[in-house]
């Protein structure tokens, strides 16, 4: 897509530190890493949302992302990784070409997800939410 920075990276029109490429996906270093070695895996085809990426490509993104995660775990100071994907502005998506973050992690890296917990009031409230999601889920 014209004016999409990640389409331009995948096409080689904008420089990036390439980690991996095949016919479906492209992986490169994030320019502002949480830790050095932070990688982004993108579909070569432009998709704003992960939800429209064809299943074979989305599967390749996850496969390549987790294999890159294993490579990161072999590096000095890292023994773990996070996969992260922000879909939509409210979720923190800034670049509107879907991308999977692969973030190397180490016990002393001083990075903490700001992960909160909002408990359900009771079992009925929890089941009402589960029921609503099931009713809105269309996988075809």
Answer for the pair 3, 97: CB distance below 8 angstroms, yes or no: no
Q: Is residue 46 among the annotated active site residues?
A: no
Residue 105 binds which of Zn ion, ligand AMP, none (CB < 5-8 A, kind-dependent): none
- CB count within 10 Å of CB 71 equals 16
Enumerate residues 12-71 that contact ligand AMP by CB under 6 A.
16, 30-32, 40
Residue 5 binds which of Zn ion, ligand AMP, none (CB < 5-8 A, kind-dependent): ligand AMP
Residue with Cβ nearer ligand AMP (32 or 118): 32
- Binding of residue 139 to ligand AMP (CB under 6 A): no
- Binding of residue 102 to ligand AMP (CB under 6 A): no
Residue 119 CB, nearest distance to ligand AMP (Å)? 28
Q: Which of 99, 101, 112, 138 is catalytic?
A: 99
3-state SS assignment for residue 5 = helix
| Dihedral pair phi/psi, residue 118, rounded to 5° | -120, 100
Residue with Cβ nearer Zn ion (29 or 95): 95
Query: What are the DSSP calls for 50-73, one per residue?
Result: GGGS-HHHHHHHHHHHHHHHHHHH
Q: Which residues bind ligand AMP (CB under 6 A)?
A: 5, 16, 30-32, 40, 86, 92-95
Residues acting as catalytic residues:
99
């Amino acid at each position: 897509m014209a004016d999409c920075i990640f389409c331009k990276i995948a096409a080689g029109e904008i420089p990036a530190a390439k980690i991996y490429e095949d016919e479906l996906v492209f992986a490169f270093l994030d320019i502002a890493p949480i830790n050095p070695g932070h990688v982004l895996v993108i579909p070569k085809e432009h998709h704003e949302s992960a939800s429209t990426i064809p299943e074979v490509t989305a599967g390749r993104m996850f496969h390549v992302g987790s294999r890159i995660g294993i490579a990161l775990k072999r590096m000095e100071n890292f023994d773990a990784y996070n996969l992260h994907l922000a879909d939509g502005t409210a979720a923190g998506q800034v670049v509107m070409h879907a991308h999977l973050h692969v973030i190397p992690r180490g016990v002393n890296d001083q990075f903490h997800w700001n992960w909160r917990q909002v408990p359900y009031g009771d079992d009925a409230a929890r089941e009402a939410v589960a029921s609503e999601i099931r009713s809105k889920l269309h996988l075809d």
